A and B are shown apart, each in its own frame.
Chain A
Amino acid sequence: MSNSKSDFIDALKGFDLWSFLAWQDIKLRYRRSKIGPLWITLSMAIFCLSLGVVYSKLFHAEVREYVPFLSLGFVIWGLMSGMLSEFPNVFVDNAAFIKDIRMNPFAIIFRLMTRHVIIFAHNLLIVIGIYAIFQLNPGLEILYLLPGFMLVTLNLLAIGVFLSILGARFRDVAPTVQALIQVIFFITPITWFPKLLPTSSWVVKANPFVYFLDLTRSPLLGFIPHETSWLAAFVTLFIFSTLAAYVYQKKSKKIPFWV
Chain B
Amino acid sequence: MVHITAKSLCLDYPIVGMGSQSLKNRVLSAATGGLISGGAGIPVVNALRSVDFEIAPGDRVGLIGHNGAGKSTLLKVLAGIYQPTAGHLMVKGRVVSTLNLAIGMEQEATGYENIVIRGLLLGMKRKEILKHLDEIAEFTELGEYLDMPVRIYSSGMQTRLAFATVTAMHADILLMDEVIGTGDASFIDKAEQRLKNFMSRSSILVLASHSDDTIRKFCNKALLLEHGLIIGSGAVEEMLEYYHQKAVA
Contacts and interface: CB of A to CB of B under 8 A. Distances in A.
Interface string A145-175: 0000000000000000000000001111100
A172 B24 contact: yes
B103 A100 contact: yes
B26 A24 contact: no
A169 B38 CA distance: 11
A170 B26 contact: yes
Interface string A82-105: 000000000000001111111100
Nearest to B149: A31
B104 interface: yes
A98 B81 CA distance: 7
Contact of A101 (B14, B22, B122, B126): B122
How many residues of A sit at the interface, in one of the four size bands?
20 to 34
Nearest to A253: B83
B125 A99 contact: no
Interface in A67-126: 96-103
B36 interface: no
A20 B117 CA distance: 8
A256 B22 CA distance: 18
Given A254-B14, A256-B81, A97 B104 contact: yes
Given A256-B81, A258-B16, A20 B21 contact: no
Interface in A20-35: 20-21, 24, 28, 31-32
A171 B22 contact: yes
User: How large, as a class, is the contact surface on chain B?
Assistant: 20 to 34
B21 A171 contact: yes
Contacts of A207: none
Contacts of A99: 81, 103
A254 B83 CA distance: 8
Contacts of B79: 101-102
29 contacts: A16-B126, A20-B117, A20-B120, A20-B126, A21-B117, A21-B120, A24-B109, A24-B117, A96-B104, A100-B81, A100-B97, A100-B100, A100-B104, A101-B79, A101-B97, A102-B79, A102-B80, A102-B81, A102-B97, A169-B21, A170-B23, A171-B22, A172-B22, A172-B24, A250-B38, A256-B76, A257-B13, A257-B16, A258-B16
9 interchain residue pairs of minimum CB distance = A102-B80, A253-B83, A172-B23, A17-B120, A170-B23, A100-B103, A28-B108, A96-B103, A16-B126
Given A28-B108, A97-B104, A100-B100, 14 more contacts: A2-B83, A16-B125, A17-B120, A21-B120, A96-B104, A98-B81, A99-B81, A100-B81, A100-B103, A101-B99, A101-B121, A169-B16, A171-B22, A256-B76
Interface of B: 13-14, 16, 21-24, 26, 38, 76, 79-83, 95, 97, 99-100, 103-104, 106, 108-109, 113, 116-117, 120-122, 125-126
Interface of A: 1-2, 16-17, 20-21, 24, 28, 31-32, 96-103, 169-173, 176, 250-251, 253-254, 256-258
